Amino acid sequence: MSRKIRTLTVLALFFALLPCHMLADSLLVKGVHDIQNYQFSKGQSLFRKADVPEPVRIFYLLNSEYMKLKINGQYREANEFLMNGVEEAKSVFDKALDKKNPEYADILMYYGALLGLKSQVYMAGNKYLQGYYHGYRGIEKVKTAYGLDTTLTDALIAMGTYEFYSGIMAQHYSVVGAVIDAEEAIRRGLGYFWQTWNRGERSKAEAGHLLLLIYTYEMCDYPKALTIGEELLKEYPGNLENRSLYAEALILSGHFDPADEVLGDFDKYTTWLSEGGKRVWGLRKKYVQAVYAMEKGDFQKAESLFQAVIKNYCFEYQWQKNRSLLKIGQMADLQGNRKKALRYYQRVVDSKETTRAVLEAEKYLKKPYLP
């Protein structure tokens, strides 16, 4: 059950900041760009001035503030803010959801995204049934909106996430794999993301982030990750999540000099953060430095950094923690310490996360790691 819940939580996460389709308002476009670059005050100011329907404006302001709190590591405050904001926004959406309204499909799509966000908070509080209910309601409304208007490229992000992570679940659970073709679902999900990347002017950044994450952590297709990451970094240099993923993909591809440059600029984009935010992103940088040390063959330094990441882990999701455990196990295998390697692989498996790290750990429990 826990793996399914974590997958649904990831689905809820990717409803965040669903970019606008309905209007090509230049202020809105610039605002989305600023938010993706973590320039929250500038972006929110533009959202307030943009010529958009009120539910859409509320959605963008709500999501951008939610994102700002989370980037600063204020997860509890972010969830409380979101729950209150969603309840207030629902009444505005209800008034605007008139089927005679020519923008009905667009507003319905945003309403689905709003419910998807709420599901994340329920799941974080272990209220799984409520979380599943709101997540399901959200994706169904997004699909309905897309059925009414197939030019809603932005809806493909949510649909792609649903398909892709259904495929990931099928890889982890035989009972799910019996009814879902994992490879086909993953293929469809990636197809939706690529359509958004290629077609969606304002949704391109979010689709690009998802593709960068997937090709770095799930597919391990580093050439594709690098192509996307390079473009994202040029357009949004202040986006610390993309910067971290791109640096890791560079390192895992053996491109150490460019990785040095990306990491060298990291701290100048953290000056605006609160002390809590600096702690979060300082630890994320340490994780990437650990990957760097391991790929360079400095196992002692790498393990020291990985252990520090595990000990001080403060991220919302467990990807980097499990990858740290996995990599310590891999280094132990390479040094002939099979007993230690087995211990760390088992810790990854025991996390019950639906990530590639778990699948790899299960494999290395049976056979030692070889690069």
How many angstroms separate the CA atoms of 288 and 182, rounded? 30
pLDDT value of residue 220 = 93
Residue 277: pLDDT band (50, 70, 90) is: very high
How many angstroms separate the CA atoms of 228 and 239, rounded? 14
pLDDT value of residue 136 = 72
- Structural domain spans, the chain: 2-199, 273-366
Other CB atoms within a 10 A radius of the CB of residue 5 amount to 16
pLDDT value of residue 20 = 44
pLDDT, mean of residues 50-75:
92
The mean of the pLDDT values for the chain is: 87
Query: Would the CA dihedral through 116, 120, 122, 126 be positive or negative?
Result: positive
Residue with tokens 């204020």: 74
pLDDT value of residue 119 = 72
Degrees (nearest 5) of the Cα angle 147, 151, 155?
A: 65
188-242 confidence digits (pLDDT tens): 989 999 998 988 666 889 899 999 999 999 889 999 999 999 999 999 999 999 9
Question: Is the confidence at residue 172, as pLDDT, over 90?
Answer: no
Phi and psi of 337, rounded to 5°?
-100, 75
Percent of the chain with pLDDT over 90: 62
Degrees (nearest 5) of the Cα angle 120, 153, 102?
A: 95
pLDDT, mean of residues 76-92:
91
pLDDT, mean of residues 161-190:
73
Prediction pTM value: 0.87
pLDDT value of residue 4 = 41
Out of 1.10.10.10, 3.30.1330.10, 1.20.1050.10, 1.25.40.10, the CATH code matching 273-366 is 1.25.40.10
Yes or no: say if 212 and 232 are a contact pair by the CB < 8 Å rule.
Answer: yes
pLDDT value of residue 2 = 43
Phi and psi of 67, rounded to 5°?
-65, -40
Yes or no: say if 205 and 242 are a contact pair by the CB < 8 Å rule.
Answer: no
How many angstroms separate the CA atoms of 40 and 45, rounded? 8
